[in-house]
Every structure is written in structure tokens, then in C-alpha cells.
Amino acid sequence: MTATVDPNDFIISRKRKKYRFAIFRNNPLCFELDEWKKKAVDVVELGAGTALFAVELASRYPDKKFVAVDVKADRLQKGACEADERKLKNISFVRARADQLDQVTTKNSIELLWVTFPDPFPRERSENRRLTHPKFLQLYAGLIRPNGSFLLKHDNRIFFDWSLEQLLHEGWKIIEKTTDLHNSSLPDDYKIKTTYEMRWMSEGLFINFVSARPSVENN
């Protein structure tokens, strides 16, 4: 039997997306890139999705400045609403692409740059869209402060191993690494679960993690 699709489902879905975008536009913590004044920040979550990970970190470290960056406003608004409920003043949400990160923050300002569960773009022809491609690593290297770190979490072992190869090829120093984050002795901050992380763990997947530091020459 062929399943029937109710066209009203698409209408409801579009309305929900418009509603979420309206929430983003009306939240004082949220910014379009052209509304954002570039500034130094301590911690960035890039490709943040709902940004609940960054919100939890911001609640733990009220003296640090956080920014969550994602291209989709309807996702970011969820984290922004949570930050509002917690009355957080040290986090902002910016709608921007990864390659626009240098328009969000200043050179050598980032202490921690988190990339959490980015799209692995598994097709070889899409390698340059992966957020650990050398072109992105070179961008990050100019924005991370001396002794700052790039931190990656991912469920896909193939993507994770490929990312390690790119880091090493670009001269980054691996500081911490595990293929089973939640059974490791690494800090609890690393184990704050993102929306995707909870999903993958419920399916029995292990979480891979690496922190790395750019070479002095690239910084």
C-alpha cells in the first residue's frame, strides 16, 4: 500500500519554521551577521545547531564570553530561548557560515573553538565542505589565541580519522584524544551532551573526541 501524504503537513512545517525564525529575530541574544559587531570572544561553538551545548558551558563559566554560530536560525533560537530562561548574559547567537567565522570574532581571540557533530559530507567530492578541511583549519588557526584549542566531537569514526589526518598534515599538535569519550577520564565539560550526541549514544554509538592546538607558525 502506498502511503498518502497530507499536503497540510508541509504547510504546518513551513509555519513552524517561520515561527522559529521570528523567535530568533526578536531575541536580543540573536544576530544576523550584518547586525553583529565583530568582537573578541573566549569560546565559540561552530555549527552549533540548537546550541544547547554552548548554553550549558556558558552557564558554568559566567566570566567568559561565548558565541554560538550556525547557518540555521530556526535551530539557534532553541538555545537562545534556553539562555533567556537561564538569564545568561555571556552568550550570543550569530547566524553565519563557517567560512565567515573571521567576521564574527577577532584574530587570536578564541580560547576554545568547539565543532560538535558537523555534517561529515561522506562523498569524496564534498571534502572541501567538511569543517575539518585544511581551508577551515587554516582559518581557525588565525583566530585561536596562543595556547588555545580546537575541540571536535563526532560519532562517525571515518570522518573522525580523516579529521585527525588533516590536523596532523596541517601541523596541529594533538593534545587529547579518545574514541570513547564518555568512558574516558577527560574533563566533564567535554561530556556535556549535544542534541545529536544524545541521539547517537541512544543508538549505541561511541563518541570520538580530539583537542588540538595550531602550530606557532600558523597561529
CA angle 201, 58, 213 (to 5 degrees): 75
The strand pair at 144-154 and 208-213 is best described as antiparallel
Q: Name the residue type at position 176.
A: E
- Using CA atoms of 32, 149, 126, 33 in order, give the dihedral in degrees to the nearest 10: 10
Cell numbers standing for residue 213: 592546538
Does the annotation mark 119 as catalytic?
yes
Q: Where are the beta strands (DSSP E) in 33-157?
A: 43-46, 66-70, 91-95, 110-116, 144-154
Q: Name the residue type at position 88.
A: L
Question: How far is Cα 86 from Cα 51, in angstroms, rounded to an integer?
Answer: 14
Query: Could you say which of 99, 102, 119, 161 is catalytic?
Result: 119
Cell numbers standing for residue 4: 498518502
Active site residues: 119
